[in-house]
Structure 1
């Protein structure tokens, strides 16, 4: 019995991750997803069916992976203070990498907008492109996204203070506002007079706003999972790393949108 206790004794506060099939399975699904997207773009027969299958299997694999992580954090108590510190650092580094990704997009935009070359007639926006009025749908989306930043901050402070109802209301309002932001972004794309293929202006516009829209959808799912965990009593006033990470990610999405609105929508048009 003494030997058994000693063998189970851990002299450090870090969690040693158990063997899991989900990382390699998710990698395979991502490879299948990207390959099927390329095939679908080139109009290969039945490529869309492979795309749908890869997407469904990827979502299932990631959901099961997240289930295991939630069990480790909530039921097994493996996420000690040292583990939470490392996870916070990982989320911070991930957001920094995303910021550098958007920096490349803004670099491409300003490189083309400040000194437009002869291929676009030396004008910005290029001749023949009717840019979107920033004080219509983009302004509405800005109000929606900034309002969601307020509601998610309210939810965060309510959770820290142990006010569960305030946290729930704040997260529900955040998801609600994020949904309408995505909806109006889709409407904007439908009524736009130019496409992705319309010179470097269209490429920069849709690349920047489209990838931001993708981040909004990911952030919405992130916050929705946090909402479910608060609802299921997984998150407490002193242990809510998942919800806090989603809120930090959402503030990053807000800041990127402000930069997009000022540079691409307002200054760029």
Structure 2
């Protein structure tokens, strides 16, 4: 039996950025929820796990700094690649910029959901992956911007009236809650709960995917690599089984945290 071949989908820089984003987001969610739902029955015990509400707030700002740091590093990484002539970042089959084809894929995907047509063929990035990617930029502007105002009120009070801080508090909490809800439901399902990926997609840990799976999941990208004679350059060794086991264990812990946070949101929402 021939040994399975693997295609590299994400490099070390991309996986590292995702890992930091992943940890900082979970940290923000875990420390932000007891602050937002401070009157919930579980809020005080949860805050005590972190050392009290004061320490929880400090940890929240630490995770926020980590998130801002990786976001700025990602933006710098993008501009560095552009400066080196990587124009594929801006448009084309390897770009995360939404393009007309994404709307076509969305339309045909919903037709497929309703048994009205075949499943569309996807390229390197699907329309929902692009949505997830750009949602981070939206979140950094809305949630990050309002969070900075609440973190440094004396500074911003020099430029904006007092009522703006009330709006910032509302926007920060509600948008963050929406982000947490989206990540622990929609993003979680798209990444891990699809039938052919259940119970976990390890590509953001290992960076590689089996060639046969890649050809089925992303036939347009696979065909492009093959037609451009670039497929061999993207082949990678199989991931270390020990690393895969550690990745599965870490992923399982993250899944448990996500589901717990979602349950806490549900409990708080229906018992306030």
TM-score normalised according to structure 1 size: 0.29
TM-score normalised according to structure 2 size: 0.29
- Mark the structure with the bigger radius of gyration: 1
Q: Which has the higher contact order (CA 8 A, sep 6+)?
A: 2
